[in-house]
Amino acid sequence: SAKAHRNEYSSYEPEMNRKAHDRLRLESDLRRAIDEEQFALAYQPLVNLTSNKVVGVEALVRWHHPKRGLLPPGEFIPLTEENGLILQLGEWVLGAACRQNKAWQDAGLPPMMMSVNLSMRQFRQHQLADRIKAILQQSGMPPQYLELEITESMTSDVEFAADTLSSLKELGVQISIDDFGTGYSSLSSLKRFPIDKLKIDRCFVNDLTRDASDAAIVSTITTMAKNLKLKVTAEGVENDEQIQFLRERDCEEAQGYYYTQPIPANLFENWFRHRSQT
Ligand code: C2E
Ligand code: CA
Ligand code: CA
Ligand code: CA
């Protein structure tokens, strides 16, 4: 009977209801958050391993939730990707990052790349290049300083990816493949795409100095990048030994807690000025 059925499931029904309810709440909070601009960007430097200079920053979104406090992207980006809110949020991120880059230029900081993450949904958005062009024009940021980060999964439809990427390249921006090595991308497709950089996923960098296969993977990616005339950044660098290894393998750039965690714009400026003096 219906009653017996209910009893059978009663032990986890409330749990499921709670999860569905939390999700709905988060979704309505997100809609409000976009209107009320509760988001902020944190910035993490990319450092050239030869010159030791900061060559760019990656913009990473944070949500200052009125009740739950500071939320990392892992707690809300997947939901925005499912319900489409990522399109609005992604536009906000792009605009805010470009305005910040321009502001730093106007404040006399040396030119720096600004890396922004694109989601699958954005990548598939109609007239993405036109939208980005408008954002660049509104912010006054020169296109050559914008670096768009995509993931290997976005390149699975090779024709579509090649077209989209070439329309983005026409704007004069840079393209990198994020989390490289964790997804599936064939070497032949890599060759077909107008990409500028590979970012080695931090899961290979983590144990680099203890795990021989991770070391081999990082060396292989670095060599391949060089042969394909691509730049390469190692992500998630946390210690001197990793930096040492990466320098020996001629890895161009590094990013990670070794330098600093992602920090708000004003703290980044302080960090940068302090670092330049020492
Ligand atoms: P990601 O693009 O791979 O960004 C790097 C992540 O690694 C960041 O996490 C950063 O805080 C973390 N990280 C950096 N250095 C280290 C390190 O040395 N050790 C460790 N353990 N972690 C390090 P975060 O900020 O939580 O972002 C997580 C992911 O959320 C990002 O991964 C990116 O995929 C996504 N994301 C962030 N901002 C945006 C955005 O504006 N749009 C989209 N579509 N996705 C975003
Ligand atoms: Ca990224
Ligand atoms: Ca990454
Ligand atoms: Ca990622």
Which residue out of 34, 38, 75, 77 has the highest number of ligand 1 atoms within 8 Å of its CB and is therefore the one to mutate? 77
> Which residue, by CA, sits nearest to atom 15 of ligand 1?
256
- The CB of 73 under 6 Å from ligand 1? The reply is yes
What does the pLDDT read at residue 87?
A: 96
What does the pLDDT read at residue 67?
A: 92
Cα 27 from chain centroid? 22
What does the pLDDT read at residue 278?
A: 66
Is residue 190 a contact partner of residue 221, using CB atoms and an 8 Å limit?
A: no
- The CB of 257 under 6 Å from ligand 1? The reply is yes
* 34-73 residue pLDDT tens: 889 899 999 999 999 999 999 999 999 999 999 999 999 9
The mean pLDDT value of the chain amounts to 92
The predicted model scores a pTM of: 0.93
- The CB of 72 under 6 Å from ligand 1? The reply is yes
> Which residue, by CA, sits nearest to atom 45 of ligand 1?
117
What does the pLDDT read at residue 244?
A: 97
Determine the atom of ligand 1 nearest the C-alpha atom of 93: 41
* 156-206 residue pLDDT tens: 999 999 999 999 999 999 999 999 999 877 777 788 899 999 999 999 999
What does the pLDDT read at residue 235?
A: 98
